[in-house]
Structure 1
Amino acid sequence: MKKILSLALAMLLVLVSLVGCGKQENKEQAGGESSAGKMIVRHNINSDPETIDPALNAAVEGATILVNAFEGLMRLDKNDKAIPGVAESYEVSEDGLTYTFHLRDCKWSDGKPVKAQDFEYAWKRVLNPATAADYAYQMYYIKNGEKYNKGEASADEVGVKAIDDKTLEVKLIAPTPYFLELTAFPTYFPVRKDVVEKDPEGWALNPETHISNGPFKVVKWDHNNVLALEKNENYYDKDRVKLDGIEFYMMTEASTSLSAFESGEVDIIDDMPSEEIPRLKAESDEFKIFPQLGTYFYVFNTTKEPVNDPKVRKALALAIDRKAIVEVITKAGQQPALTFVAPGIKEPDGKEFYKKAKDYGLRETAQVEEAKKLLAEAGYPDGKGFPELTVIYNTSEGHKAIAEAIQEMWKKNLGIEVKLQNQEWKVFQETRDRGDFVIARHGWLGDYTDPMTFLDMWYSTSGNNNAHWKNKEFDKLINEAKTTSDEKARFELMHKAEDLMMEDMIVMPIYYYTNPEMIKSYVKNVRISPLGFVYYDEAYIEK
């Protein structure tokens, strides 16, 4: 009996020990570490990126992957100002038109050297009309960039040239105060010609061929589930990188995302049900609201009836209650938007650009009588005869709530009925880009801290011009603003450009973004930029 009791006691001790080990392993996994003991942050980015090709991406979740997997000539500091990246130094000519960048010794994730030719190839690829890059217009600052993109010049005439493996010369059409910051934007990242041209359509979709030069590299992409990065041991400044990797999850529903965060399945989320925000504010020190340079809006397809009539567009924009949307629905400190260019950009005199904008007639609350008057002038008194149309938005609880509120406001204030349709993110992007819509949800975060980042997207040939709006006077103002060296005149030209697009009401501003996030307390040094990027190059997990 003693032997049996001793054996039973020994077995019980073993079982207790195993249970204890199991609990400890789960605790470590919930703290951002895998069972292998690696330091990995798990971040829900809500949607599967359409692409992680630097030339083709035009969305925030794709850019979040790209800024961690690649590095440009420059990178951005905590104030989003340019500091040396792949280029360890540079010179600018006295007239501000020629930049000469000197590359440091650095490698691609497969160990091959990064060369100046990689930048020349990448930039000309963006401008190549065959690439059909939405962001090609962002390289119109480069000499003959626009002409090449329009088929009016050859690639050899574009003002970017590798002098040798370590020297890149760039010629601009005019001095550009924010050009160095632009070189840190994903569109300006380098790519390898041999990698891209071996599989032009699929290289960026396959982790094995997604060769990059940044702090991390892509090692797994299980679409609509998880995209994993791991530390790039060939990165020139790898000692600055503390994380072993990042796992990006793609949970679309905000409620699912929050549940995953609260159960310890993910460490960072940037979408949560708005009705939960008051509770999270009160109860959790892991809930934070970061500033964000951006505007949430609806875009009108100006080629489609009935919104091809400016009076209809203005009536719709005047008939919504922006204050109610931010106070009742979004609840994260957003400000009703009455202009398109968002707060956070200052003019040379130190004043905010948006505060010096004209009065475009929009108010925080609905202007019902004026809206009804405009709709009647457009031929739809009290909404009678207004054609059936559909508002599209990408699948999200938050977007749905806003769409339903606007649907009800238009019905109550104008007497019109609209249908709502949600689409999965990739499908939605394609629908919007094709112009296969009448009214669509939209949002824009600044790519750099200058009003131009909000304005040149409406240039006639811009790949991001989802309004399909063409205005020669607007194009002229944008061109003049990009070529003048007089800063005061440049800002005046940009104000005039915003006046044209807003007086024509090609978009319906709703609110200026904030960035509510849930971040586990043990995740340290993640840099969340007002431009929408999330940087992990100096992040770590506190054990």
Structure 2
Amino acid sequence: MKKVKIWLTTAATLLLGVALTACGNNNGAANKKHLNWMTNASISSLDPSKAVDLNTQQTIFNSFSGLVEPNGGNKVRLGVAKDYHISKDGKTYTFDLKHTKWSNGKDLTAQDFAYGIQRSADPKTASQEAYYMDHIVNYDAVSKEQAPVSSLGVKAVGKYKLQFKLTRPQPYFVNILTLPVFYPQLKSEVDKYGSSYGTTSDKMVYNGAFKVTKWNGTNDSWVLAKNPYYYDAKQTKLSTIKYTVIKDPQTALNEYQNGKIDQTYISGKQGYANYKNDKDFHLRKSYTVKYITMNAHAIPALNNKNIRQAMSAIINRKELINDVLGDGSIQARGMVPDTLAYRNGKDFNDVASVSSAVNGDAKRAQAQWKQGLKEMNMKSLHLTLTGGNDDTTKSMAEFLQSEWSKLPGMHVNVQLLPNTVSTSRFLHSQFQVHVAAWDPSISDPISPLNTKYTGNSMNTAKWSNANYDDLLDKSNNEDALKPAKRWDDLVNAQKVLLNDQAIIPLYQSAQGELIKHDIHGIRYYGNGPLWDFSKAYVK
């Protein structure tokens, strides 16, 4: 099974693939070409091979263009590629490229893509996302320094044709090509700057809608300036976007109200209540699913299915969503978030959710609890619930503690820790029950579902189910080239997960934002790069 990536962020993640539409009109701003944008953290590098955090990836996404780009849900649209072909056996991908240029005026060729991908795969580069290449021929040997990077299964076939060779079919291969580790890089620039490559905005060359300027590697502001050499520059309306890091929400709100920035996040229940009817307000549903994971190796009673089901059924999700959170988040319907993937017009969870596993039923919970204790020959159960110490997790943990106390003999201690400590304990299976989250970095159900596969590094509760593993294996192997059967494999896998109550799904998080209502054409995605300014304009 392929490895998966954990996103440990508290930054906002946003609605997939929808365009911002105006609620009003401001004729005075008709010729405005500049935006002032805020973010809550700086960027770490402009090197596509080393982009990991969301803020960095967002900047790189707007200053680079890959072969393909996100297009909402599990769809992609063409970027530098003008078309592509997949062989019948699903193991060869051939991309024909548009004739485009770098921001320094040099031609961008297929060799630039091949070089950039090889550089990302090279263990000397130390890319944290190179594992996404695990299906490419010779990646394993390259990653272990047992073969040269030139042997990686990607090559230029002429000036404007790029070809990938895979060891086995990977149905979501095109989706992962949207990630920065698959972006082109200009070897002459890498050679010129050496270890300084990408450490400042002037030690980099770009091929996206914008160039990054005024970033010295440590400052908390930078500018995206229109790139005249971008292949679709005629459609880029904005001249500049100035990013400023503002960590305090109230400071950001004040700056927004004073007209100094054009966008800001709205935090928490009170902020949502205050601004949800404002003409500038937008609610962005992320792909982040919050759930409870249960470690039966630490607490043997959690091996009992009735006990797990009772712990889920006693939770009043409507009260959690509306009264405790109150921020626009929605109820989770499974491990896979809503709007991540569709088939034949149906959301994955329309066919893959299990009502009894994701909805509360106090009467059923009491019966299951009684039966579970009887089967375990127990009269009570003592648990410690762990999680991060942010305000949202604190409120939710207190609510869960109260809900679980409604089960006779259930005693819950809450232990909230700094996020770094909490995450470390989760990754090392040092918990009993834990508030966990998953934000898939690729738009395919396999990403969240993989985290519960036997032996996966993220399966820290060590839940294991042979039928579940078989379904994921089928989706990755014999059904990899059969979209309908692969979809059914993944649907049935989530049903196995939920019917066994391997997790307790809670909610899918949302983020409120204020954005000036005269700004149009920004595209948003629930994961990955988030913002796409290439078609944005002010009117």
Please tell me the TM-score bracket, short chain as reference: 0.7 to 0.9
Shift of 1:274: 2.1
1:45/1:248 contact within 8 Å kept:
yes
Paired residue for 1:9?
none
- Which of 250, 257, 260 in structure 2 is aligned with 1:262? 257
2:333/2:353 contact within 8 Å kept:
no
* Distance in 1 between residues matched to 2:40 and 2:103, nearest whole Å: 27
- Which of 526, 531, 535 in structure 2 is aligned with 1:534? 531
Is 1:516 the counterpart of 2:512? The answer is yes
Paired residue for 1:14?
none
- Which of 64, 69, 81 in structure 1 is aligned with 2:63? 69
Paired residue for 1:10?
none
1:274-285 equivalences in 2 (<5 Å): 274-282=269-277, 284-285=278-279
CA offsets per residue over residues 142-164 of structure 1, 9 Å max, x none? Answer: 34445655778764553211223
Identity within the alignment, %: 26
2:119/2:149 contact within 8 Å kept:
no
- Which of 94, 98, 102 in structure 2 is aligned with 1:108? 102
Paired residue for 2:494?
498
Q: Which amino acid aligns with 1:262?
A: Q
1:160-239 equivalences in 2 (<5 Å): 160-174=154-168, 176=170, 178-193=172-187, 195=189, 203-219=197-213, 220=215, 225-239=220-234
Change (3 A) 1:487 1:115: same
* Distance in 1 between residues matched to 2:157 and 2:296, nearest whole Å: 46
1:100/1:170 contact within 8 Å kept:
yes
Q: Which has the bigger relative contact order, CA under 8 A and spacing at least 6?
A: 2
Is 1:334 the counterpart of 2:354? The answer is no
| Secondary structure at the counterpart of residue 277 of structure 1 | helix
Change (3 A) 1:508 1:252: farther
1:411/1:417 contact within 8 Å kept:
no
| Secondary structure at the counterpart of residue 362 of structure 1 | helix
2:338/2:347 contact within 8 Å kept:
yes
Q: Which TM-score applies when normalising by structure 1?
A: 0.75
Shift of 1:327: 0.7
CA offsets per residue over residues 455-500 of structure 1, 9 Å max, x none? Answer: 235556877x373758595555434313322223212322343345
* Distance in 2 between residues matched to 1:411 and 1:52, nearest whole Å: 50
Is 1:442 the counterpart of 2:437? The answer is yes
Paired residue for 1:21?
none
Q: Which TM-score applies when normalising by structure 2?
A: 0.76
1:310/1:504 contact within 8 Å kept:
no
| Secondary structure at the counterpart of residue 508 of structure 2 | strand
Paired residue for 2:350?
355
Q: Which amino acid aligns with 2:518?
A: Y
Q: Which amino acid aligns with 2:339?
A: G
Is 1:364 the counterpart of 2:359? The answer is yes
- Which of 286, 289, 299 in structure 2 is aligned with 1:296? 289
1:446/1:453 contact within 8 Å kept:
yes
Is 1:488 the counterpart of 2:484? The answer is yes
CA offsets per residue over residues 322-347 of structure 1, 9 Å max, x none? Answer: 22221114435433114111223566
* Distance in 2 between residues matched to 1:526 and 1:300, nearest whole Å: 36
Is 1:273 the counterpart of 2:294? The answer is no
Shift of 1:107: 3.1
CA offsets per residue over residues 94-130 of structure 1, 9 Å max, x none? Answer: 4443222233333333444433233223334444556
2:32/2:538 contact within 8 Å kept:
no
Is 1:421 the counterpart of 2:421? The answer is no
1:46/1:271 contact within 8 Å kept:
no
| Secondary structure at the counterpart of residue 495 of structure 1 | helix
Q: Which amino acid aligns with 1:467?
A: T
2:429/2:461 contact within 8 Å kept:
no
* Distance in 1 between residues matched to 2:225 and 2:438, nearest whole Å: 30
Shift of 1:520: 0.3
* Distance in 1 between residues matched to 2:224 and 2:256, nearest whole Å: 20
Change (3 A) 1:226 1:337: same
Shift of 1:277: 1.9
CA offsets per residue over residues 349-401 of structure 1, 9 Å max, x none? Answer: 544321322638534337553468758977985444x4x564125x5x54554
Which stretch shifts more, 166-175 or 72-81?
72-81
* Distance in 2 between residues matched to 1:146 and 1:99, nearest whole Å: 19
* Distance in 2 between residues matched to 1:429 and 1:191, nearest whole Å: 37
Shift of 1:211: 3.5
1:386-397 equivalences in 2 (<5 Å): 386=383, 390-392=386-388, 395=390, 397=391
2:521/2:537 contact within 8 Å kept:
yes
Which stretch shifts more, 124-133 or 526-535?
124-133
Q: Which amino acid aligns with 1:140?
A: D
* Distance in 1 between residues matched to 2:426 and 2:144, nearest whole Å: 19
1:392/1:437 contact within 8 Å kept:
no
| Secondary structure at the counterpart of residue 419 of structure 1 | strand
Unaligned stretches of 5+ in structure 1? 1-30
Is 1:83 the counterpart of 2:77? The answer is yes
1:456/1:462 contact within 8 Å kept:
yes
- Which of 460, 467, 483 in structure 1 is aligned with 2:460? 467
Change (3 A) 1:141 1:380: farther
1:224/1:250 contact within 8 Å kept:
no
| Secondary structure at the counterpart of residue 416 of structure 1 | strand
Change (3 A) 1:202 1:148: same
* Distance in 2 between residues matched to 1:516 and 1:85, nearest whole Å: 30
Q: Which amino acid aligns with 2:483?
A: E
| Secondary structure at the counterpart of residue 344 of structure 1 | coil
1:299/1:467 contact within 8 Å kept:
no
Change (3 A) 1:469 1:156: farther
1:287/1:516 contact within 8 Å kept:
yes
| Secondary structure at the counterpart of residue 276 of structure 1 | helix
Which stretch shifts more, 57-66 or 532-541?
57-66
Q: What RMSD in Å do the two structures reach over aligned CA positions?
A: 4.2
1:481/1:494 contact within 8 Å kept:
yes
CA offsets per residue over residues 251-293 of structure 1, 9 Å max, x none? Answer: 34444443332332321234433223233233x111123454x
How many residues are paired up?
A: 498
| Secondary structure at the counterpart of residue 164 of structure 1 | coil
* Distance in 2 between residues matched to 1:203 and 1:459, nearest whole Å: 38
| Secondary structure at the counterpart of residue 230 of structure 1 | strand
* Distance in 2 between residues matched to 1:215 and 1:375, nearest whole Å: 61
Paired residue for 2:112?
118
1:40/1:246 contact within 8 Å kept:
yes
Paired residue for 1:242?
237
